[in-house]
Amino acid sequence: MHNGVKKEAGGIGRPLVSILIVLLMAAALIYEALQNRTQQNNDTQESAPADKTATDALANVALPELGPEKPEVDSSSMEIINDVLLSNVPKADYSYSFNGKLTDAVVVTRAGDEGHFNDGTYPEPSEDVFPLFTDGVEGDALYLDGSYGVALQGVEPLNESYTISFWFRADELFDWSPFLMIGSHLMDVGGSQSYLSINRKTTEEGEQVLPIFNTIDAVLNNSCEIRPSMEHKRCINLNEWVYITVCVDASAASGAAEGRAMGYLYLNSELIGSGEVSLLNMDAESVCAYLGISCYDMLFRASYDEVHIWKHVLDESQISSMYTAYIAA
């Protein structure tokens, strides 16, 4: 009995041991798996703040402000000075540069001149006199030696708003002799004469006043001039380059008289005078545009460069941009 029991008990014990071993091995595997899962969770939790920090950093990066796309500037419609495009200055309606030749301009002289003065005759093109040139503000400049002037071709009537600018250097000057003159029927005094000019005058006290912006329209019997407003009215010295600009704003009618508006006189881009001007009544068939010559007045020695004419008003910032671009070189 005892042996049987022992034998029977021994037979049951061996399977139990095997089962226990299997269970222990399974428990070990389960424990190891749980440990791996715990380690992975810990790693994920540790890395999460770093990822969040990176995300926050990206969120805080300042992005450039995006505005509307700027349209491209058409260089053909804007002024270019010394290879610099002036995006705020529209191209002039008429431009005259003098780089060793005359383009859209001709030499003119007067018959019957006496001491460079004339009793009254229109300048005519000359094939016997050749233009002279000197160093200019941008490239070459036209030089008048006192024996001829130059007629600018293609200029149409300036009967509304306009702007005229040019570089000027005088070796000598005489009263009334125009630096520049544009008009029609220039010798029909008291009739249909209509013109603008820039010149010099001397007061009864002997003070030279220059530059003066004159506008005369005989049709409405208007005659106006704008002088420098400062106490010392000689604003141009001989043998130095100056940049002269005049503007007429036809929309700013003065109201003082029919056919008048506001005009402005600038020297080296600074406003030196303003006041009433005569609106002109130029005849398209007989417009004349002269440098250094008229039908009457003394010829003189002077240099010209970069003559521009716009058939509208430039504002002060545009005039300043032109002047700054020239002197920058």
Confidence grade of residue 9 (pLDDT, cut at 50, 70, 90)? very low
Mean of the pLDDT values across residues 43-71? 50
Which architecture characterizes domain 80-328 according to CATH?
Sandwich (2.60)
Confidence grade of residue 104 (pLDDT, cut at 50, 70, 90)? very high
Residue 250: CB atoms within 10 A of its CB come to 18
Side chain identity, residue 226? I
Distance CA 159, CA 168 (A): 25
Quick one: which of 288, 299, 298 has its CA closest to 187?
288
Distance CA 136, CA 143 (A): 9
> What's the pTM value of the predicted model, to 2 decimals?
0.78
Indicate if the alpha-carbon torsion angle 298, 240, 209, 206 is positive or negative.
negative
Where does residue 239 fall: left (phi above 0), alpha (psi -120 to 50 degrees), or beta otherwise?
left
- pLDDT at residue 237 is higher than 60: yes
Indicate if the alpha-carbon torsion angle 231, 237, 241, 246 is positive or negative.
positive
Mean of the pLDDT values across residues 298-319? 98
Strands (DSSP E) found in the chain:
78-81, 84-90, 94-96, 105-109, 124-125, 132-135, 140-145, 149-152, 162-170, 180-184, 194-202, 208-217, 222-226, 242-249, 260-267, 270-278, 287-291, 301-310
Confidence grade of residue 11 (pLDDT, cut at 50, 70, 90)? very low
Q: What share of the chain in percent tops pLDDT 90?
A: 71
User: Average pLDDT over the chain, rounded to whole?
Assistant: 86
- pLDDT at residue 12 is higher than 50: no
Mean of the pLDDT values across residues 182-211? 96
**Any idea what the Cα angle at residue 65 is, between residues 64 and 70, rounded to 5°?**
115
Strands 208-217 and 222-226, how do they pair? antiparallel
Q: What share of the chain in percent tops pLDDT 70?
A: 77
User: Is 143 strand, coil or helix?
Assistant: strand
pLDDT at site 252: 87
Distance CA 154, CA 102 (A): 13
Residue 121 gets which letter from DSSP? -
Place of tokens 């190891």: 32
